[in-house]
Amino acid sequence: MMFLLGLTGSIGMGKSTTAEMFAQMGCAVWDADAAVHRLYRQGGAAVAPMAKAFPDAIVDGAVSRAALKTIIGQDPSALKVIEGIVHPLVLQDRKSFMESANADIAVFDIPLLFETGAEREFDAVACVFVAEEIQRQRVLDRGTMTAEQLDMIIAKQLPAREKADRADFVIVTDTLEHARAQVEDVVKQIRKDMDDA
């Protein structure tokens, strides 16, 4: 039996970094943002439907994130249309990963896990969490988004506190050492429960 653990949290709160720690503990990891990257690149399954809806978003045969951000900046309702195209393809990618993964625990890094109602599909959900000032600083330090773009994304997500409240495990990502210790505890707990069952 494979235990299915959802991993979520607000933008920039440390999902990818924490997912890597789960991988180091021997878990199989699937990443929704990485799936979107595969879908957007040349030959990816999202290119044709996105080209139809947003011709300006295609650069060199791939979906350009910079172009998409400009499009969404001009018309925030475009994000709903993008989601309508992308989310079903992301779901297909996740299902095929589930069929091929071979580990006792599979971790699914999904930014919009609660927003899309996916929590029902997992045995448990872990949520990363850190103070909002640290979150903003970390995202803006990456230099890929303006403060306005960040505000727009945060406004589209459930409040970070609510995600943490709804999760079975909360992983505080204030330092790498602290996060790693909590990941180890979560994995040990799940493995123990599986052994006892």
Ligand X SMILES: Nc1ncnc2c1ncn2[C@@H]1O[C@H](COP(=O)(O)OP(=O)(O)OP(=O)(O)O)[C@@H](O)[C@H]1O
Q: Is 17 annotated as a binding residue?
A: yes
Positions in the binding site for ligand X (CB under 6 A): 9, 11-17, 33, 111, 138, 173, 175-176, 179
Between residue 116 and residue 175, which ones bind ligand COD under the rule CB under 6 A?
A: 144-145, 153, 156-157
Look up residue 159 and give its DSSP letter. Answer: P
Alpha-carbon distances, residue 118 vs 86, 108, 110, 147 (angstroms):
15, 10, 9, 28
- Cβ 48 to ligand X shortest distance, Å: 25
CB nearer to ligand X: pick between 112 and 124: 112
Residue 38 in the binding site for ligand COD (CB under 6 A):
no
| Other beta carbons less than 10 A from residue 56's beta carbon | 11
- Cβ 139 to ligand X shortest distance, Å: 6
- Cβ 79 to ligand COD shortest distance, Å: 5
* 186: Cβ contacts below 8 Å, ≥ 6 apart: 5, 126, 169, 171
Please give, one letter per residue, the 3-state secondary structure of 46-95: CHHHHHHHCHHHEECCEECHHHHHHHHHHCCCHHHHHHHHHHHHHHHHHH
- Which residue stretch of 79-87, 94-102, 120-128, 183-191 sits at the interface with ligand COD (rule: CB under 6 A)? 79-87
Residue pointed to by tokens 């969490």: 129
- Binding residues (CB under 6 A) for ligand COD: these are 11, 32-33, 36, 65, 68-69, 79, 82-83, 86, 90, 111-112, 144-145, 153, 156-157
